[in-house]
Amino acid sequence: MVDGTVVTSGTLGRQVRLVVNLSTPAAGQATISGNSNTLCTVFIFNGAGECWWAPTDASASPYTISASYAGTSDANSATSNQLTNFAWNQAISLSYTNRSIETGKLATLTPTITGGTGSRSAWRWSISQFFTGDAIGGISINGSGVISIGASVLPDTYTMVVGGADLAGAIEYTNVTITIADLTAPEISLSSSSETITVNSALTGFAITNTGSDISSYSIQGTLPAGLTFDTSTGLIAGTPTETLTVTDFVISASNFAGIDTATFTITVNASGGGGGGATITISLAGGVITAAKGTPIAITASVNVTGKVSFYINGKPIGGCASRHTTSSVSCIWKPTTQGQSVTLSALLRPSSGNYTNARSNLLQVGVGRRTGRR
């Protein structure tokens, strides 16, 4: 028996009570043996006696146990029934792996258990905070010793004491540390920062590494050429472009509730035919400046590598008088800013005269427009 419960096995480190009952209320002495070895001597009073047994190892397990009564002048000697296959199990070893998760996330911790008596789901389990003995809201344990961490647990480091009691009454305690961390903004990097390909060739792309908290969604700044797509769930660009694209930066943003981080990927798409290279076009302001003054005309120059017609744009809209200008090498558009105190985006589109080339977009030129200087 253990705590009054009849058992057929025990756990090292825990005693079991061996009980001898005679059929008459006699006194005397009985010997309890197991596997031909004496386990204990029992003194009988009023027909009953008991002793406590706790082996130090399980090497002789399982045991066949019986009792023999020596007899007295008032009672005959007797031998009891046999209790067979009484097993001593190894002492309980219980552990958990410490866990760190972000606030709002769910997690479970499964115990590593050796030894003990009976099914783990039949054991008694407990969990409380170390030192205080308090329960922590959102941290619980089920009937199999699995710890659940809920989304409501506040950020902190919790050292929890877990207890498991087997069917033989043996109890083992262990500590586990659970860290609930604050959510942080993503911190992303790309495995590649740029790629140059030709029309109708698949983009290799890049992989994203994030050392911050989990990312909720991705977005991209910039218009991809036809044939390429952006995945807002993975942040990846994929596909096969069907038109050319001059050197263009695409800004990829990764966000969650804590913030946003960005990374830039540069794509160049060249034509697949026509003299061994694709059509290209670049634009710049006179003198290489990146600022302009309201009301002051300034030349935007487009340089091309193939003959064609060039159209100029501001913030994606055509600039009046600067459409379809024929050129073999370079052509200019006189632009007169009409607003001040803001940044505008200049661009150009080349439509090659030869069918061996596809249309090409220029680089995007960010220009700050300021106040006009000098006399009027």
Q: Is residue 4 part of a domain?
A: no
Long-range pairs of 120-125 with CB within 8 A, sequence gap ≥ 24: 120/144, 120/145, 120/164, 122/167, 123/164, 123/165, 123/166, 123/167, 124/163, 124/164, 124/165, 125/162, 125/163, 125/164, 125/165
pLDDT at position 179, please? 96
Q: Is residue 15 part of a domain?
A: yes
pLDDT at position 105, please? 87
CB distance 170 to 125 below 8 Å: no
Q: Which amino acid is at 327?
A: T
Q: Is residue 275 part of a domain?
A: no
Instruction: Clarify whether residues 315 and 335 are in a common domain.
Output: yes
pLDDT at position 1, please? 39
Instruction: Clarify whether residues 84 and 101 are in a common domain.
Output: no
Instruction: Clarify whether residues 79 and 150 are in a common domain.
Output: no
pLDDT at position 272, please? 67
Select from 181, 212, 240 the last residue of a domain.
181
CA-based torsion, 266, 270, 276, 281: positive or negative: negative
Q: Is residue 2 part of a domain?
A: no
Q: Give 211's contacts (C-beta < 8 A, 6+ positions apart).
A: 187, 189
Q: Is residue 347 part of a domain?
A: yes
Instruction: Clarify whether residues 124 and 64 are in a common domain.
Output: no
* HSE value, Cβ hemisphere, 13 Å, CA-based, for 112: 6
Instruction: Clarify whether residues 122 and 78 are in a common domain.
Output: no
How many residues are given for the chain? 376
Instruction: Clarify whether residues 76 and 31 are in a common domain.
Output: yes
Instruction: Clarify whether residues 352 and 321 are in a common domain.
Output: yes
Instruction: Clarify whether residues 136 and 173 are in a common domain.
Output: yes
Structural domain harbouring 366? 281-370
Instruction: Clarify whether residues 290 and 361 are in a common domain.
Output: yes
Instruction: Clarify whether residues 297 and 266 are in a common domain.
Output: no
pLDDT at position 305, please? 86
CATH number of the domain residue 247 falls in: 2.60.40.10
Q: Is residue 22 part of a domain?
A: yes
Distances (CA, A) of 135 to 126, 154, 227, 282: 10, 13, 57, 67
Q: What is the dihedral of CA 215, 219, 221, 226, to 10 degrees?
A: 130
Instruction: Clarify whether residues 263 and 286 are in a common domain.
Output: no
pLDDT values of the chain reduced to their tens digit, one per residue, 376 residues: 344 567 788 899 888 889 999 888 899 999 999 988 899 999 999 999 999 988 888 888 899 999 999 888 888 899 998 888 888 999 999 999 999 998 888 999 999 999 999 999 999 999 999 999 999 999 999 999 999 999 999 999 999 999 999 998 899 999 999 999 998 999 999 999 999 998 888 999 999 999 999 999 999 999 999 999 999 999 999 999 988 898 999 999 999 988 999 999 999 988 765 444 677 889 888 878 788 898 899 999 999 988 899 999 999 899 999 999 999 899 999 999 988 888 899 999 999 887 767 788 898 899 998 887 654 4
CATH number of the domain residue 15 falls in: 2.60.40
Instruction: Clarify whether residues 82 and 29 are in a common domain.
Output: yes
Question: Of the candidates 190, 157, 199, which has an alpha carbon nearest to the alpha carbon of residue 175?
Answer: 157
In our burial notation (b when 16+ CB lie closer than 10 A, e otherwise), range 136-174 reads beebebeeebebebeeebeeeebebbbbbbbbbbbbbeb
Other Cβ atoms less than 10 A from the Cβ of 102: the count is 17
Q: Is residue 276 part of a domain?
A: no
Q: Is residue 138 part of a domain?
A: yes
Select from 181, 216, 249 the last residue of a domain.
181
Number of domains comprising the chain: 4
Select from 41, 57, 89 the last residue of a domain.
89
